[in-house]
Amino acid sequence: MSPFSHHIYNGKKMALFTKIPEKSFKNFKNTYSLYFFTIIFGVLRYNLVMSKFLYENYKDYFRVGAAISGIILMNDAEKDELFQNMKKRMEEFKKNFKPQPGMPVFKFPEPQPFPKGDMPDKKLAAEQFNLVVAENECKMGSIYHGPDQFDFSGADRLLAFAKQNNQAMRWHTLVWHNQSPRWIFEDGNGGKASKELLEERLKKYIFTVGERYKDDICSVDVVNECISDKNFVLRDGADRSQWFDILGPDYVDKAFFWAKEAFPNSSLVINDYNLEMIEGKRQGMYKLVKGMKERGVPVDTVGLQMHINIQNPPVSEIEQTIELYGSLGLNVIVTEMEVSAYVDKDFEHPDPRREYDKAFLDEQAERYAQIFECFRKEARAGILKDVVLWGITDRMSWKNNFPAPGRGDCPLLFDGDGNPKPAFDRLTK
């Protein structure tokens, strides 16, 4: 058998050419001519398969990115330590979990050890995308461990990966009410940090991160998820924002002014979820960014997270949302997209587990295809710049267990083993 006869691609074994039966050898006077033809055929077929690169298909319109879980860049010992932690956490979670009355009860999936060696996500991340963002490693809670303690190991690791693969990198995120370290809001004597102290800490953080990464980061989520789901104005202390609680409403403007100094060449993004899904929230963000522009605040891009599902929202609403922010002269990027199999109208009573059969996978493929067509249109109009998916394989998606513990989801372009799903095939057609 020729050494070129198989190529492992996307975790799938794809024959580069069909095995030729032994007896047909006799028809060739010279075995070398067989090798010559098979190599040519192999190279042609190889090129055909390998031209299925997602980012290449859209390179004239927008970059295609993926959120990278730090796990896929870990070595085996690190993965094992994480697995042990997860087992401990799962035990605690199960002990404390109280289902809502009427909520379907799913079987809790026991954490499984991570595969040894490279996971398929790593190869796919390198091959299929020209933009990366850390799923967790660039959040304040991962980095800022004390007034003078910074841990950049996760961020550095991803940046090295991006450079090695000629990819751009985004920063997610500077200011967020979640995954912020607890100490930052405390005064060290059991009380709240003062406004002056918290401002000083935030400023120091933004400038320290900028100093290290300003030349390597194409866009920065400066403020994340600051619009309240209750009244569509700035999330306040009662709605879990200690930033608002201590610094007051102008913390958003200030963060952008500092980010502009710290990252003078990056685009500065205000990022939120459900903007394409909920009209009130879309308008709330519109009012906020309009006001910011009028005040001369250096925001230049709105980030639509786009954690959407198989039904909602309709493509027309996605289009309207992009155009609404575009009408203010802002750019738009899609920052965290996936298409869940579940509509989950009411998070307290999520949909029962469904089959991920051919009909579903084709429907999902069609939905991805229609939305990416809309993205193309909005890129042509000069508004949409980047599209980032929140993960690579279904196995690693944050949607597994959210909002229904024990219910796996199926929202991305590659299945758990890294095989391309129909949605990937549609987007690379």
Annotation marks residue 225 as catalytic: yes
Q: How many CB atoms lie within 10 A of CB 26?
A: 7
Of 9 and 390, which has the nearer Cβ to ligand G3I?
390
* Contact map string, positions 119 to 158, toward ligand G3I, x by CB under 6 A: ----------------xx----------------------
Kindly state whether residue 178 participates in binding ligand G3I, applying the rule CB under 6 A: yes
Of 58 and 273, which has the nearer Cβ to ligand G3I?
273
Could you say which of 225, 276, 338, 378 is catalytic? 225
Of 135 and 245, which has the nearer Cβ to ligand G3I?
135
Residue of minimal Cβ distance to ligand G3I: 85
d(CA 247, CA 161): 36
Kindly state whether residue 398 participates in binding ligand G3I, applying the rule CB under 6 A: yes
- Smallest gap from Cβ 111 to ligand G3I, in A, equals 8
Of 244 and 390, which has the nearer Cβ to ligand G3I?
390
d(CA 98, CA 77): 34
Could you say which of 135, 336, 338, 378 is catalytic? 336
Kindly state whether residue 179 participates in binding ligand G3I, applying the rule CB under 6 A: yes
- 82-101 binders of ligand G3I (CB under 6 A): 82, 85-86, 89
**Inter-axis angle of helices 315-326 and 279-294, to 10 degrees?**
10
Annotation marks residue 186 as catalytic: no
| Interface stretch with ligand G3I, choices 80-88, 153-161, 250-258, 365-373 (CB under 6 A) | 80-88
Kindly state whether residue 18 participates in binding ligand G3I, applying the rule CB under 6 A: no
d(CA 135, CA 28): 55
Kindly state whether residue 305 participates in binding ligand G3I, applying the rule CB under 6 A: yes
CA end-to-end span of the chain: 31
Q: Give the residues lining the site for ligand G3I (CB under 6 A).
A: 82, 85-86, 89, 135-136, 178-179, 273, 305, 336, 398
Catalytically annotated residues: 225, 336
